[in-house]
Amino acid sequence: MYTLITGAGAGIGKALAMECASRKMNVLLVALEGPELETTITEIKLKYNAECHGLGIDLSHPESFCKVYKWVKENNFNINILINNVGVGSKGDFDHTKTFFYEKQLQLNIHTTTMLTHLFLNDLKANAPSHIMNTGSMGGFFIIPGKTVYAASKAYVYFFSKSLRLELKPHNVIVSVLCPGGTDSNENTIAINKELKGIAKYSILMPERVAKEAIDKMLTGKARIIPGTINKIYYHISRIIPEFIQQIFVYYAFRHVDKHKY
Ligand SMILES: NC(=O)c1ccc[n+]([C@@H]2O[C@H](COP(=O)([O-])OP(=O)(O)OC[C@H]3O[C@@H](n4cnc5c(N)ncnc54)[C@H](OP(=O)(O)O)[C@@H]3O)[C@@H](O)[C@H]2O)c1
């Protein structure tokens, strides 16, 4: 059996792949073609002696998800865990970002996640007990000016995952949604995270820490996975305070992030 992970060449996806391989799970990595994917595959094989294969593909291309499915089928990889992790963040006022970027962001954050889940569903049912884990974000719980499309796309991932979980329960396909807060996963996010204020600043985690908690909780069948104690507390408090107070906190956290710098 294999675990398929998208966006697995770097950042949280890479950490998830390393975490799975460290638990002797066979992993299939899907990411942009290039040295990062190749290096990750080599690292996993050397460090964990695990079975690891990769597909270099741009998942923002429409119907790329069909190519992923074809690759899995042609190679007779049998999957029982699907981790839809690929996604891109953004910041800046809605009208300051180019149309083509939103097309790509929605394709990666929403379309690819939905379509891969749909394509692999019969396999996951056949291989049950099985798991689907979709990477959402803490951002999906809040109204965040400057991250309008990103936050809305992650709210989609959250509700999609939670509804699907109920549908698939009788089939023993367990759906989880991973909702990380700020994670120092790449140069851009590290720079943005440095500018955060308030609770958000102290809640930043490393991808390895996020991945460990994510895989631990996914395997126990947890529905909503929020890595880190501060993030969990913040989430629960935010559910009981009025929206206008939430917005004050969000405004304060992101106030210093230069919208046009990165
Ligand atoms: N970092 C955070 O603070 C944070 C917080 C909450 C949620 N998240 C979510 O966590 C997930 C991972 O984020 P991250 O920060 O770890 O991202 P990242 O560091 O940018 O890594 C993204 C991975 O996805 C791959 N990728 C990017 N565009 C792709 C495309 N068009 N087709 C195929 N693969 C592509 C990259 O490939 P290459 O290696 O070739 O570049 C890389 O392996 C995303 O869904 C993100 O929204 C992140």
pLDDT average, residue stretch 184-193: 89
pLDDT average, residue stretch 135-158: 95
* pTM for the predicted model, two decimal places: 0.95
Model confidence pLDDT, tens digit, residues 49-106: 999 999 999 999 999 999 999 999 999 999 999 999 999 998 888 999 999 999 999 9
Query: Cα(76) to centroid of ligand 1, in Å?
Result: 27
Q: Is 128 in the pocket of ligand 1 (CB under 6 A)?
A: no
pLDDT average, residue stretch 34-61: 97
Query: Cα(153) to centroid of ligand 1, in Å?
Result: 14
Element spanning 187, H or E: helix 187-195
Residue 255 has pLDDT above 80, yes or no: no
Backbone φ and ψ of 10, nearest 5° = -155, 175
Element spanning 88, H or E: none
Residue 127 has pLDDT above 90, yes or no: yes
Which pair of structure tokens corresponds to residue 42?
């080599």
pLDDT score recorded for residue 247:
86
**Residues in CB range of 176: below 8 A, 6 or more apart:** 131, 132, 133, 134, 161, 165, 217, 218, 221, 222, 223, 224, 225
Percent of the chain residues past pLDDT 70, beyond the cut: 97
Residue 262 has pLDDT above 50, yes or no: no
Q: Lowest-confidence range among 26-40, 109-123, 157-171, 248-262?
A: 248-262
pLDDT score recorded for residue 197:
74
pLDDT score recorded for residue 196:
77
Query: Cα(122) to centroid of ligand 1, in Å?
Result: 27
Mean pLDDT over all residues of the chain? 94
Backbone φ and ψ of 119, nearest 5° = -65, -40
Model confidence pLDDT, tens digit, residues 207-234: 999 999 999 999 999 999 999 999 999 9
Q: Is 40 in the pocket of ligand 1 (CB under 6 A)?
A: no
Domains and CATH numbers, the chain: 2-190+204-240 (3.40.50.720)
